[in-house]
């Protein structure tokens, strides 16, 4: 049973997608609810087994490596699968409240989201370079149609731009895989890593191609242009899934390559500092842009550009502290960002717009939504006690340990800027309305408990992550491959 769990974690969400394609979400979202349970159950069981027994491997169809395809669930995979399951379940509940089940958008959401879930789990379990390419494409092809559910012309052009760049990124990645296969004759990450030892310019070229492709997919500055439009124009649950999980899938693969087959080329100081430099640029540029955006959802989207930058600071530090810090930051950001997007979506739903200048006075009316936004903001800013604080604290210790004090300054500056863009929104919301200009209350649409509470629960989980560091870092375990 245990060695079947990785397969079930991929297969059951895909099956749920097919069933929901045939049935629709059903009366009262009953089928959809079944789909969520079917998708979440194997993920959670798998995470528990990994926590108890350590790494679980499965050889597909019983074929042994190098011909067969290996699925592997280690601590990092388990943590990402757990993040996907927790964020996924709560966002699904929000979606049950948001989408009218007779709507076409609802039908499409309940097909595409389980498929995306299965594809994400498959990516997190891939221990094979080519299988990772296929699953990355599955993630992209399931995620982009979700952007279109908003149906606006803006969403269409955002989706098209996203698709073209994503396709280009995966072609670069595939070219790198081809070079590695040419050098080693294997696709299994571990075997390829062993045979690539010694390096050479072809390995460097392969690494450059694969990393560039993944940076495009992860929307790291300067490849970030598609992200704010796509994430800003999608419906709230979709934005939450894209920002919390989908971009992180590309970063995950980058970390996986760094800790495995591409350790040597990516550990050269020039490459490591180049990547960290991109991370610094992403943090500063994304945060400054977030401060300047006129619309709430765009603020949250640019914040994602900034927060992803932190994950690239790993490369020059390359120790256990940095590894833990970067991954913990990724998990904490996933939870908090999903909460921010759901809260922003609720605000947009309730007052019909998300222009920050016109939020004046709405803070008291939409107290729960803005409260959620503020609580999730604590983790994004990295204030204690929160998951964001713990991740940044580990990273800070790693930078200071490596003597890179200026990186520590960037981390602190990123936190200050994040405080700036979170408080800018809250300040606008809680300003008293002009008493003489408009005395009347703006019309407010009611939101049900299904939409209100998942956002708040996610925001509170972001805080709780500040206290859950020990069990989660124990689950993550040592760096794979014993690097550093």
Partner 1 sequence: MMGLDVYAIAAAVLVGLGFHGLITQPHPLKRLLAVNVVGNGVFLALIVLARRLPDGPDPIPHAMVLTGIVIAVSATAFGLALVRRQARDAEERDD
Rule CB under 8 A: which residues touch partner 1? 130, 133-134, 137, 140-141, 144-145, 148, 153, 156-157, 159-161, 163-164, 167-168, 171, 174-175, 177-178, 181-182, 187
* Core vs surface per residue 111-143: b (16+ CB within 10 A) or e: bbbbbbbbbbbbbbbbbbbbbbbbbbbbbbbbb
Could you tell me the smallest distance in angstroms from the CB atom of residue 207 to partner 1? 16
Compare residues 130 and 285 and give the one whose CB is closer to partner 1. Answer: 130
- Which residue carries 């209350």 as its tokens? 441
The enclosing H or E element of 128 equals: none
> For residues 33 and 178, which CB has a smaller minimum distance to partner 1 in the complex?
178
CB count within 10 Å of CB 430 equals 16
Q: How far is the CB of 157 from partner 1 (least distance, A)?
A: 6
Cβ atoms of residues 310 and 395 within 8 Å: yes
In the chain, the N- to C-terminal Cα span, in Å, equals: 34
Alpha helices in 311-386 (DSSP H): 314-317, 320-351, 362-365, 367-381
For helices 449-464 and 75-98, the axis angle rounded to 10 degrees is 160
Q: What are phi and psi of 380, to 5 degrees?
A: -65, -40
Angle between helices 296-310 and 405-430 (to 10 degrees): 160
Rounded CA-CA distance 298/460 in Å is 23
For residue 264, the minimal CB distance to partner 1 (Å) is 20
Indicate the residue among 4 and 104 with the shorter CB distance to partner 1: 104
Q: How far is the CB of 200 from partner 1 (least distance, A)?
A: 11
The least CB distance from residue 295 to partner 1, in Å, is 21
Cβ nearer to partner 1, comparing 138 with 456:
138
Q: How far is the CB of 483 from partner 1 (least distance, A)?
A: 28
User: What burial class does residue 197 get, using C-beta atoms within 10 Å of its C-beta: 0-12 exposed, 13-18 middle, 19+ buried?
Assistant: exposed
Nearest distance from C-beta of residue 156 to partner 1, angstroms: 5
Least distance (Å) between residue 92 CB and partner 1: 24
Which residues is 70 bridged to in the sheet?
A: 59
Q: Which two tokens stand for residue 52?
A: 């108890």
> How far is residue 95's CA from residue 90's CA, in Å, rounded to a whole number?
9
Angstrom CA distances, 1 to 258, 366, 378, 418, stand at 31, 48, 41, 45
Q: With contact defined as beta carbons under 8 Å apart, do 135 and 119 qualify? A: yes
CB of 138 to partner 1, least distance (A): 8
């Amino acid at each position: 049973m245990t060695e079947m769990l990785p397969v079930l974690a991929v297969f059951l969400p895909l099956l749920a997608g097919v069933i929901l394609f045939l049935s629709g979400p059903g009366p009262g979202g009953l089928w959809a609810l079944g789909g969520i349970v079917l998708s979440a159950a194997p993920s959670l069981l798998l995470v528990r087994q990994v926590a108890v027994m350590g790494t679980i491997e499965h050889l597909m169809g019983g074929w042994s490596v190098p011909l067969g395809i290996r699925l592997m669930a280690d601590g990092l995979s388990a943590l990402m699968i757990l993040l996907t399951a927790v964020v996924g379940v709560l966002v699904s509940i929000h979606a049950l409240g948001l989408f009218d089940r007779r709507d076409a958008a609802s039908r499409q959401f309940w097909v595409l989201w389980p498929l995306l879930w299965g594809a994400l789990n498959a990516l997190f379990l891939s221990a094979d370079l080519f299988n990772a390419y296929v699953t990355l494409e599955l993630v992209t092809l399931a995620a982009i149609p979700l952007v279109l559910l908003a149906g606006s012309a803006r969403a269409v052009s955002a989706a098209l731009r996203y698709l073209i760049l994503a396709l280009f990124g995966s072609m670069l990645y595939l070219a790198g895989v081809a070079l590695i296969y040419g050098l080693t004759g294997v696709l299994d990450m571990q075997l390829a890593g062993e045979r690539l030892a010694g390096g050479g310019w072809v390995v460097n070229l392969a690494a450059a191609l694969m990393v560039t492709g993944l940076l495009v997919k992860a929307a790291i500055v300067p490849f970030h242009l598609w992200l704010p439009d796509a994430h800003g124009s999608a419906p709230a649950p979709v934005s939450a899934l894209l920002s919390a999980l989908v971009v992180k899938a590309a970063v995950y693969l980058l970390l996986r390559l760094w800790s495995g087959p591409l350790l040597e080329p990516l550990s050269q100081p020039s490459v490591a500092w180049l990547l960290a430099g991109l991370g610094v640029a992403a943090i500063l540029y994304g945060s400054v842009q977030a401060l300047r955006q006129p619309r709430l959802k765009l603020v949250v989207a640019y914040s994602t550009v900034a927060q992803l930058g932190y994950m690239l600071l790993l490369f020059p530090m390359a120790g256990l502290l940095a590894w833990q810090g970067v991954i913990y930051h990724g998990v904490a950001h996933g939870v908090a960002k999903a909460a921010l997007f759901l809260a922003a979506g609720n605000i947009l739903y309730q007052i019909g717009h998300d222009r920050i200048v016109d939020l004046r006075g709405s803070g008291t009316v939409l107290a729960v939504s803005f409260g959620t936004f503020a609580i999730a903001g604590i983790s994004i800013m990295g204030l204690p006690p929160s998951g964001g604080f713990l991740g940044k604290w580990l990273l800070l210790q790693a930078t200071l340990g490596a003597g890179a004090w200026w990186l520590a300054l960037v981390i602190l500056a990123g936190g200050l800027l994040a405080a700036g863009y979170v408080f800018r929104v809250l300040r606008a919301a809680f300003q008293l309305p002009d008493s003489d200009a408009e005395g009347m209350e703006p019309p407010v649409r009611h939101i049900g408990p299904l939409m209100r509470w998942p956002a708040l629960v996610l925001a509170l989980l972001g805080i709780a992550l500040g206290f859950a560091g020990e069990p989660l870092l124990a689950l993550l375990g040592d760096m794979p491959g014993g690097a550093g």
